[in-house]
Structure 1
Amino acid sequence: MMIFMVTSSPARLRGDMEQFATTKFGALSDPSGFVKIEWKIDQASEKLSLSWIETGGPLVNPPSRRSFGTRMMESLGQQLSGTVRLAYPRSGFTYTLDIPVGSLNK
């Protein structure tokens, strides 16, 4: 068994995106599913907003409990002095990360 401790912010963000892309339950598990990735930087507030929006895959149900993976996704927002919002509309899972741009240098 190999265990990796990821400490840099860009690596953690990449890890979350990789987790979404390889899950067997999300939109990419279905040939008709797809993912839209949106990001923007608000120059005035120096904040980054990044969203992963799944559609076209299996119908989504909110989880019945907070899993280890969910807690890890939520912790990235805290680690980067921002917030993470997870949404589970029936049409597909949505992840939104809002952080100060400067926190990516941590």
Structure 2
Amino acid sequence: MMSTATLYDTCRAELKRIAWRLQYGARKQRSREVHISFEMPYPENSFSHIESVIYINQLFDNTLCETEKYVLKKLIFEDRTEKEIAAELNMSQQGVNKWKRKAMQKLSRTMSS
């Protein structure tokens, strides 16, 4: 039978391994997700900032469907992860990523035409 100190050390080592695996998995997940964030170059109360916000809202409303708008607004403006949004929408992280890519492609096509 193991002594108490040996059992304690074994449990402690196993808990450290489990914690490391969880942290490693979280880091890998974060590294796979593309962080979309941008800083507005204007102060929040300036006229140019207000014009930009209006333009973005019109662009979203005229180009994207509701799910695409929801996903992009959560990712960009609320700084949420794809995994968090996937849990809200009851879909996979890959599904959220596809919605994001489709929305970005639509916005790119609209802005370039």
User: Whose Rg is larger?
Assistant: 2
**Structure richer in strand, relative to its length:** 1
TM-score of the superposition, structure 1-length normalised? 0.24
**Structure richer in helix, relative to its length:** 2
TM-score of the superposition, structure 2-length normalised? 0.23
